[in-house]
């Protein structure tokens, strides 16, 4: 690659020019996870840092918002000074109708991170911890220094990285919250519905089961929203960041019995950004979005798995929009080597030091990943 076509060379030249003009902040920031750069002060320059390399490290959708969402957003600039406070209730009602729930069983939030934290703060405590497998998406339960906001019992996944709820209950028979990410992040593996129902039936009285379905629509797994509709001791988190491609707009929700959602009220509910609600509403009203994007994701996933099989590389059979690949050496070193070639991936996880996680991107992005991975493992 020549200097003129290398995005990093162009980026460095631009950064040098801006620095000479005194327009660059001295403190590095993380425009994308895993890459610290000095951000320019102008909006266009900041946006450029999201596209000047290949970012398949944060499970973002490679296409972004669907056409209907983009069309709805295009009409908003003149109204972006408005809160649109009532719009979230409309989104709650639409989601409820589509999923056999009542509107008071759904609560919209700016993303799904804060609902996860609110559940931990409300229903777990030092006496009744939150229990989950690791690695998983546990950031909602952790605070300063990655310490639990209440108390956590983290159980390592088994040798095949499957989540066995019986082991979780045995490790924490007194938990206030049992958490499952399904499909799990970062493994992409699905917990069987029968196992979820077993945990629901055998957990201690007064505890709840929290299921994070951020990636459920990429998989063939059955959602637990029907259990919510049936009145189970359960809360289900959903996000518009993944298959709907709205990560930067921040919109998510939590579904559960009204008393369980009301119990979280002591921690408050912030106003979800009005453009995010508008884009989420348009996305839910597009009946082709989920099946189309699920099929597209599966095609990329199957192609990557076939490529890995042909090279004898082990991977976990993910049903999500990412996969863990066994690289047989420190995953952090492989991640760093790919970054040198302008390909940013998710890297290793706890108890998986010689693995890396890659999000599924476009065909061109995945080809760049394959090329960089071969080079890194040579």
pLDDT digits (tens, 9 = 90+) for 264-298: 998 888 999 999 999 999 999 999 999 999 999 99
Q: What is the mean pLDDT of the chain?
A: 91
Residue 8 exposed, middle or buried by CB count within 10 Å (0-12, 13-18, 19+): middle
- Phi, psi (deg, nearest 5) at residue 40: -70, 165
d(CA 357, CA 58): 9
Question: Where does CATH 3.40.640.10 sit in the chain?
Answer: 67-284
β-strand partners of 152: 130
- C-beta of residue 334 within 8 angstroms of C-beta of residue 356: yes
Over residues 318-347, the mean pLDDT reads 97
pLDDT digits (tens, 9 = 90+) for 223-272: 999 999 999 999 999 999 999 999 999 999 999 999 999 999 988 889 99
Does the domain made of 7-64+289-377 have the CATH classification 3.90.850.10? no
d(CA 108, CA 218): 21
Q: How many residues does the chain have?
A: 378
Query: How distant is the alpha carbon of residue 202 from its chain centre?
Result: 29
3-class DSSP state for residue 197? helix
pLDDT digits (tens, 9 = 90+) for 136-164: 999 999 999 999 999 999 999 988 999 99
Does the domain made of 67-284 have the CATH classification 3.30.70.150? no
| pLDDT for 26 | 38
Question: Where does CATH 3.90.1150.10 sit in the chain?
Answer: 7-64+289-377
Residue 3 exposed, middle or buried by CB count within 10 Å (0-12, 13-18, 19+): exposed
CA dihedral 54, 60, 61, 64 (to 10 degrees): -90
CB atoms within 10 A of CB 170: 10
Q: Pick the closest to residue 161 from 327, 324, 306, 304 (CA basis).
A: 324
The DSSP call for residue 315 is B
d(CA 111, CA 220): 23
pLDDT digits (tens, 9 = 90+) for 8-52: 333 332 333 323 333 333 345 555 666 667 788 888 988 888 888
- C-beta of residue 315 within 8 angstroms of C-beta of residue 308: yes
The DSSP call for residue 1 is -
Give every CB contact of residue 88 below 8 A, 6+ residues apart in sequence.
Answer: 108, 271, 272, 277
| pLDDT for 41 | 86
Sign of the alpha-carbon torsion through 49, 55, 61, 62: positive
d(CA 112, CA 115): 6
- Would strands 234-239 and 252-256 be described as parallel, antiparallel, or unpaired? antiparallel
Over residues 298-304, the mean pLDDT reads 98
Region for 31 from its dihedrals, namely left if φ exceeds 0, alpha if ψ lies in -120 to 50, beta otherwise:
alpha
d(CA 181, CA 251): 18
| pLDDT for 25 | 35
d(CA 152, CA 140): 12
β-strand partners of 356: 325
Over residues 108-128, the mean pLDDT reads 95
3-class DSSP state for residue 219? coil
371 pLDDT higher than 70: yes
C-alpha angle 324-313-158 in degrees, rounded to nearest 5: 45
pLDDT exceeding 90 applies to what percent of the chain? 83
| N-to-C CA span, the chain | 19
Q: Pick the closest to residue 161 from 131, 181, 142, 176 (CA basis).
A: 181
């Amino acid at each position: 690659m020549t200097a003129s076509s290398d995005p990093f060379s162009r980026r460095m030249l631009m950064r040098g020019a801006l620095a000479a003009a005194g327009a660059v902040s001295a403190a590095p920031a993380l425009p994308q996870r895993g890459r610290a750069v000095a951000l320019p002060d102008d909006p266009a320059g900041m946006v450029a840092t999201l596209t000047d390399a290949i970012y398949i490290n944060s499970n973002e959708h490679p296409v972004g918002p669907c056409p209907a969402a983009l069309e709805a957003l295009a009409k908003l600039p003149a109204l972006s000074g408005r809160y649109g406070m009532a719009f979230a209730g409309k989104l709650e009602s639409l989601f409820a109708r589509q999923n056999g729930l009542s509107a008071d069983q759904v609560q919209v939030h700016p993303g799904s991170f804060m609902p996860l934290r609110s559940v931990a703060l409300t229903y777990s405590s030092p006496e009744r911890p939150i229990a989950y497998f690791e690695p998983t998406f546990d950031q909602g339960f952790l605070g300063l220094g990655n310490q639990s906001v209440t108390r956590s019992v983290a159980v390592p996944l088994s040798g095949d990285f499957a989540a066995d709820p019986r082991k979780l209950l045995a490790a924490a028979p007194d938990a206030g919250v049992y958490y499952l990410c399904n499909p799990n992040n970062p493994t992409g593996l699905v917990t069987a519905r029968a196992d979820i129902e077993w945990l629901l039936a055998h957990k201690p009285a007064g505890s709840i089961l929290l299921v994070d379905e951020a990636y459920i629509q990429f998989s063939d797994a059955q959602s637990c929203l029907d259990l919510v509709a049936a009145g189970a001791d359960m809360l289900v988190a959903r996000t518009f960041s993944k298959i709907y491609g709205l990560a930067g707009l921040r919109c998510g929700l939590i579904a559960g019995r009204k008393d369980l959602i009301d119990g979280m009220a002591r921690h408050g509910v912030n106003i979800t950004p009005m453009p995010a609600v508008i884009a989420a509403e348009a996305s839910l009203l597009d009946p082709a979005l989920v099946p189309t994007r699920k099929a597209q994701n599966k095609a990329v996933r199957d192609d990557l798995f076939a490529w890995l099989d042909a090279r004898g590389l082990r991977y976990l059979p993910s049903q999500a929009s990412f996969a863990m690949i066994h690289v047989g050496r420190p995953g952090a070193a492989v991640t760093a080597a790919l970054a040198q070639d302008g390909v940013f991936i998710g890297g290793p996880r706890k108890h998986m030091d010689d693995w890396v996680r890659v999000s599924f991107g476009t065909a061109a992005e995945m080809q760049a990943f394959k090329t960089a991975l071969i080079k890194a493992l040579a």
